Amino acid sequence: MILSNSEIHKALDEKRLIIKPEPCPRVPTVGKDCPYDTHSVNLRLHNEILVPQSGKFSIDLTNPGSLAELITQHSTRYILNDKQPYNLEPDEFILARTIETIELPITNSLPHLAARIEGKSSRARLGLIVHCTAPTVHPGFRGSLTLEMANLGPAPIVLRTGMYIAQLIIEQVYGEIILNPSEFQDQSDPS
């Protein structure tokens, strides 16, 4: 079951969902954007972007080792600011992350929550994909959300730190959970 905006507010109040900094305002206010849609909450683009390098190397996903280290070794890091946005060119792929960190605690109280990070239709209509194939945020996850972004459109898309870039959809998970943390637990870097 997908949570409505009022149920998302309840989950935040009950600490079954933690978003830092918490998006505000919770309800539409004259002169302010409300990040809560009917069943999702909008998230913003962090200032850090990784641009994978093209080159004459191959990536063997069956080799042991840290995927984050491999990505970092073969990427260029950019830091955005108000005067220096990033132009995402057509057919370009980058890794970015959200300003907000998310936590979906597993506690003794039920129900537990999971989430999906999805693109925003206003960005998708320009050809912007924000998660490619990995939208799932598992129960027990804690950290910032990595965005696997690509521009499928015909023109560069200007990316600015703080812009609404994606939406988080919260879902209830039924049943007991057996912990199995991912290698991305507590991530604070797009890699």
Burial of residue 40, with CB atoms counted within 10 A of its CB: 0-12 exposed, 13-18 middle, 19 or more buried: buried
Q: Which residues of 124-151 are buried (b: 16+ CB within 10 A; e: fewer)?
A: eeebbbbbeeebebbbbbebbbbbbbbb
- Three-state DSSP state, 160: coil
pLDDT of residue 153: 96
Asked whether residue 67 carries a pLDDT value surpassing 90, the answer given is no
Burial of residue 100, with CB atoms counted within 10 A of its CB: 0-12 exposed, 13-18 middle, 19 or more buried: buried
Residues belonging to the active site: 148
Asked whether residue 131 carries a pLDDT value surpassing 70, the answer given is yes
Q: Please list, in sequence order, all residues whose beta carbon lies within 8 angstroms of the beta carbon of residue 162, skipping any fewer than 6 positions away.
A: 44, 45, 99
Identify the band that residue 137 occupies on the pLDDT scale cut at 50, 70 and 90: very high
User: Which of 36, 46, 56, 127 lies closest to 80 in space, CA to CA?
Assistant: 46
**Which regions of the chain does DSSP assign to beta strands (E)?**
18-20, 41-44, 48-52, 75-79, 86-88, 93-103, 112-118, 128-129, 136-137, 142-151, 157-159, 164-173
pLDDT of residue 62: 76
Asked whether residue 139 carries a pLDDT value surpassing 90, the answer given is yes
Identify the band that residue 56 occupies on the pLDDT scale cut at 50, 70 and 90: low
CB 21 within 8 A of CB 102: no
- Three-state DSSP state, 127: coil
Identify the band that residue 69 occupies on the pLDDT scale cut at 50, 70 and 90: confident
DSSP letters spanning 44-89: EB-SEEEEEPPSS----TTS-S-HHHHHHHTEEEEE-BTTB-EEE-
The reply to whether the predicted model has a pTM over 0.85 is yes
Question: In this predicted model, what pLDDT tens digit does every residue of 152-179 receive, in sequence order?
Answer: 999 999 999 999 999 999 999 988 888 7
- The residue with greater pLDDT, 108 or 91, is 91
Question: In this predicted model, what pLDDT tens digit does every residue of 7-50 receive, in sequence order?
Answer: 999 999 999 999 999 999 999 989 889 999 999 999 999 999 99
Read off the pLDDT of each residue in 49-62 and give the average, rounded to a whole number.
Answer: 78
Asked whether residue 75 carries a pLDDT value surpassing 70, the answer given is yes
